[in-house]
């Protein structure tokens, strides 16, 4: 077996790029699958005030679009993959993304939200690059989303029953990025990169592309829907008293908390958490006398929780 052992005598560490690594991240992905049908989830009956707040959220149309596009990208990429183990796991991710889109559609119909179905743009000439762009975009969105979700949870902006459903969605997105970063490292290892991690330069390049794509989307969104889109970041409705440092603290802390539930042998995204840790150090030095900005209060529930152990960063 191609296994390394930690110098501290801890658990054996799989060699990244080995078949053991492939089997570990693919079987973990299948094992942590949640079986549910969006139609039969416990959707609550909302009173007028809650319904109004839900309808005020400006980005349902974009979320619906992104999830449908995600399903299409992952499904198209899956078709190009020969390895049967990877193919099966990728097919599962594609079905989950399509189920996310269905979940949003069910919610839109149930609560009469304004989110028409838009045609999906071209998926790109090179579907593997599109999949990587999508994967790093998910890593970025999830990291930011962890902080936003915690703030929304604590502000009780929407009823708990709805937020519980979104919590499940967040868990699935976290699974996706853990799977993706392991797939990426496995793929890079087979191309002759350092068989230990995803190259930081490759990671940086894709994050720059992800941010560039978001800016382009925001510009198009402003032209098309007069700034109504998700990219317009009209999240101030539940960010009363928003503080950037507190937001970064929340993203960082929530990322750690959510990543802790996964198998410690697997890689996980670490580029943005490390960048954020550096930024937070600088901000703490800058405002040394400021009080700790992390807002106390109840935390969103965790799915798939298991005892935390030493984790393997993506690098
Ligand atoms: Fe999704
Ligand atoms: Fe996803």
- The segments of the chain whose pLDDT lies below 50 read 1-12, 225-234, 237, 307-310, 315
What distance in angstroms lies between residue 5's CA and the mean position of ligand 2's atoms?
32
What distance in angstroms lies between residue 173's CA and the mean position of ligand 1's atoms?
6
HSE-CB for 36 with a 13 A CA cutoff: 18
What distance in angstroms lies between residue 97's CA and the mean position of ligand 2's atoms?
6
Contacts 24+ apart (CB under 8 A), 207-216: 207/136, 207/139, 207/140, 207/271, 207/272, 209/133, 209/136, 210/133, 210/136, 210/137, 210/139, 210/140, 211/140, 213/133, 213/137, 214/137, 214/140
In order of start, what are the domains of the chain with their CATH numbers?
A: 3-313 (1.10.620)
Give the CA angle between residues 271, 180, 305 to the nearest 5°.
85
Helices (H), 191-243: 200-225
Locate 187 and state its tokens.
């793929």
What distance in angstroms lies between residue 106's CA and the mean position of ligand 1's atoms?
15
What distance in angstroms lies between residue 6's CA and the mean position of ligand 2's atoms?
31
Query: Which positions ≥6 away from 81 have C-beta within 8 Å?
Result: 87, 90
What distance in angstroms lies between residue 241's CA and the mean position of ligand 1's atoms?
29
Q: Give tens-digit pLDDT for 68-93.
A: 999 999 999 999 999 999 999 999 99
Instruction: Give the ligand with the smallest distance to the CA of 98.
Output: 1
Per-residue confidence (pLDDT) for residue 315, from 0 to 100: 43
Per-residue confidence (pLDDT) for residue 8, from 0 to 100: 42
- Beta partners for 13? 4
């Amino acid at each position: 077996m191609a296994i390394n052992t930690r110098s501290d005598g801890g658990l054996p560490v799989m060699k990244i790029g080995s078949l053991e690594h492939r089997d570990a991240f693919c079987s973990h992905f299948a094992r942590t699958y949640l079986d549910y049908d969006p139609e039969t989830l416990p959707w609550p009956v909302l009173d007028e005030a809650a319904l109004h707040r839900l309808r005020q959220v400006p980005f349902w149309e974009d979320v619906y679009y992104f999830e449908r596009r995600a399903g299409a990208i992952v499904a198209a990429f899956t078709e190009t993959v020969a390895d049967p183990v990877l193919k099966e796991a990728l097919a599962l991710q594609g079905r989950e993304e399509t189920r996310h889109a269905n979940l949003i559609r069910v919610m839109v119909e149930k609560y009469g939200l304004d989110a028409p179905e838009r045609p999906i743009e071209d998926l790109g000439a090179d579907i593997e690059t599109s999949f990587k762009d999508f994967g790093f975009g998910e890593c970025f969105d999830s990291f930011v989303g962890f902080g936003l979700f915690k703030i929304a949870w604590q502000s009780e902006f929407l009823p708990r029953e709805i937020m519980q459903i979104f919590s499940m969605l967040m868990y699935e997105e976290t699974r996706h990025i853990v799977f993706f970063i392991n797939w990426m490292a496995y793929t890079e290892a087979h191309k002759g990169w350092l068989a230990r991690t995803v190259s930081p330069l490759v990671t940086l390049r894709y994050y720059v592309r992800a941010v560039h794509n978001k800016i382009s989307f925001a510009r198009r969104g402003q032209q098309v829907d007069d700034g109504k889109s998700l990219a317009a970041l009209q999240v101030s409705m539940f960010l009363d008293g928003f503080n950037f440092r507190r937001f970064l603290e929340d993203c960082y802390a929530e990322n750690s908390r959510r990543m802790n539930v996964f198998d410690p042998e697997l890689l996980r995204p670490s580029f943005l958490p490390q960048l954020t840790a550096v930024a937070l150090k600088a901000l703490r030095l800058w405002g040394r006398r400021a009080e700790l900005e992390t807002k106390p209060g109840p935390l969103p529930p965790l799915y798939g929780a298991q005892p935390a152990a030493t984790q393997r960063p993506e690098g």
